[in-house]
Structure 1
């Protein structure tokens, strides 16, 4: 869709208007935020270890109401556990590549 300026100075749209549905709710942004949050949570579990991460979440559950809400969001789930396994596989792959590149 474009615009044209008429001789009298009026700007008018030309072409067919977009038939794409536009929602007022930013669904892509919410989905991206969810994906980033799960990835960061899985990285924390992988980096700290499941035991230390569980202790930290338990400490948040015993805190203020805001900390309790944060602990409920940060509790491990199936998707985070799956991502932790992928992080392990990536780490093994990188370590094997680094070990193969070292001179004997």
Structure 2
């Protein structure tokens, strides 16, 4: 049996149990209803709420990967331009060398 959000015991209020409400819409989860879990400890009232959270997480991960690749790309470009600058400052002799 899950304690309710206002469960009072021993002179203190206990925190609500993590299965008391839907992670996304905060709808109360009753003991006689299905609970849809995602990523271990995130309860949802319906497959739709869970799917919406999954899609939001995937979009966030995609944005993170894109911004991460842009950052690493700009670091590579910065290193490349530094290399090009140092290469243009070097003097190179061309010609024939004869060794006796």
Same-fold call, TM cutoff 0.5: no
Structure possessing the higher radius of gyration over alpha carbons: 2
Q: Which protein is richer in helix relative to its size? A: 1
TM, length-normalised to structure 2: 0.31
For CA contacts below 8 A with separation 6 or more, give which structure has more relative contact order.
1
